[in-house]
Structure 1
Amino acid sequence: MNWNYLILVLVATIAGGIIPMTVRHISANFTIYLLAFTGAFLFGVTIMHLLPEVYHELGHAAGAYIVLGFFLQVFLQQLSHGMEHGHSHLPNENHHHHIAVTPLLLGLSIHAFMEGIPLGFQYEDQSALPSLMLGVAAHKIPEALTLITVMIHAHKSKQQLWQILIIFALVTPVAAILAGWLGNRFEVVSHYLVYLVALVIGAFLHISTTIFYESGTKHHELSRKKVMAIALGLVLAFITLIFE
């Protein structure tokens, strides 16, 4: 387990959460292009690094678990209202305080825990783990930004915002540590970790493709700048193949 990678994920999450606490008016375009870039990068890393690993380990059975993970994320989205892909499906910002916060935090925390599981897996491809760490860290910025924005509109105090942010920031690194520790000590856990990674791949595919078509758009259009942000994310994902 590379602690520097986990620190990177932790710092990226906290940085994303700090933005809405310190910037009064966040540009809508900033969020749109950040989401497009991070979503494309996560998508590319998932396709280029994670998919080959699980298909090598599980064969055609991997597809069933990936599909299951995709629809597991659909279920989690009903709790989190879409915060894991960087924007909320809540009805109106002015009414956020009428919506129960607990299901939002529960759904997003389960997703964050799932994100950490592949970070504790042992990959044959030496570039897979650092590439995935970068993808998850990039994804954490808009994810935490959206979480804290929603909590601000839910009228949480400054102290509560920091508590929520710190706890949320720890979920993914703790999941990675648990997966790595248990996988190294118990053969049965190591065996089944690959199935969990396949589930997470399905969740990643759901999140990243949703970001492509929903983030900041009214009619699911792809503007030129958004296409450029997506292309940049995919190019960066391709560059990670150099380190194989």
Structure 2
Amino acid sequence: MIFILPIAAVLLGFLIALIFKPTFNNTVKLLLSFSGAFLLSITIFEFLPELYASGSKEIGLYIMGGLLLQILLEFLSRGAEHGHLHLDSKTKNIPWLLFISLAVHSIFEGFPLSQNEDLVYGIIIHKIPIAIIISSFLIVSNISKIQILIFLILFALMTPIGSYLGALDFWTESLKNNINAIVVGVLLHVSTTILFESSKNHQFNATKFGTILLGIGLAYIL
């Protein structure tokens, strides 16, 4: 399940982009806002308390390390992890810097999935709108369809690879908690950035606010 669902989420995002050819319109923005609220809530309600229950005094340090890591990754991806993507429509080659950033991000987010089933749903819901946005930009570029397919297949595999690594037996409990804390930092940065940037000119939008509340409520119920 943890290996199949992330791949299915990317495939679904690609199919939506291919069939409906959405631009970054209100529907995608709402889906992105919902995913950000859901992912943030799952992280705070489930993942974060479990980490602090370990009693390690270094958890906060590693969480801040994850935040800094995500900031560095966004210099490469230009914010693709939270819905911002700026590609030259004339480009003919796979944007490898974007791929490297997304790959590192995805491997880290996949690491704790074998230990936290609730987080799986947060990652899946987050991945669908991101896959829609990435696929939409790649489709309208001059990159060949074969290269786009290679990019998306590799992107889809990164989270399952992270899950596989996280399920290996050689991790000590302390090391696993430290890596999970880095993941929390990454997820906190991505999800809060989505929410902070979800309102144009920081104006109140009742529909988006309701969507965010829905994401929080659903995460709490789960």
- Alignment partner of 2:185 out of 183, 202, 205: 202
Question: Is 2:147 aligned against 1:160?
Answer: yes
* 1:118-171 deviation digits (Å, cap 9, x = unpaired): 113x4xxxxxx2210100010110121122223224322222222211111111
How far off is 1:62 after superposition? Answer: 1.1
Please report the TM-score for the alignment, with normalisation by the length of structure 2. Answer: 0.92
Q: Post-superposition shift, 1:99? A: 9.3
Give distance in 1, aligned partners of 2:29 and 2:202: 12
Distance 1:118 1:187, change over 3 A: closer
Alpha-carbon shift at residue 95 of structure 1 (Å): 4.7
1:97 corresponds to = 91
Shift of 1:239: 0.2
Q: Is the 8 A contact 2:109 2:183 kept in 1?
A: yes
Q: Matches of residues 1-244 of structure 1 in structure 2 within 5 Å?
A: 4-26=1-23, 28-88=25-85, 90=86, 95=89, 97=91, 101-120=95-114, 122=115, 129-181=116-168, 184=169, 186-188=170-172, 190-215=173-198, 217-240=199-222
From the superposition, tell whether residues 25 and 50 of structure 1 become closer, same or farther in structure 2 (CA, over 3 Å).
closer
Is the Cα–Cα contact under 8 Å of residues 66 and 199 in structure 1 kept in the other structure? yes
Give percent identity, aligned residues only: 36
In structure 2, runs of 5+ residues without a counterpart are none
Conserved in 2, the CA contact under 8 Å of 1:40 and 1:208? Answer: yes
- Seen in structure 2, the aligned counterparts of structure 1 residues 73 and 191 have a Cα distance that, compared at 3 Å, is same
CA distance in 2, matches of 1:32, 1:131: 23
Give aligned pairs, total.
Answer: 222
1:125 is aligned to none
- Check whether the contact 1:84–1:143 (CA below 8 A) recurs between aligned residues: yes
Residue 5 of structure 1 aligns to a residue whose secondary structure is coil
Paired residues of 1:66 and 1:202 also in contact (CA < 8 A): yes
Is contact 2:13–2:128 with CA below 8 Å preserved after alignment?
Answer: yes
Quote the offset at 1:84 in angstroms: 0.7
- Separation of aligned partners in 1, 2:47 and 2:90: 36
Instruction: Judge conservation of contact 1:80–1:103 (CA < 8 Å) in 2.
Output: yes
Aligned partners of 1:96, 1:195: CA distance in 2, in Å? 42
Q: Which runs of 5+ in 1 are unaligned?
A: 123-128
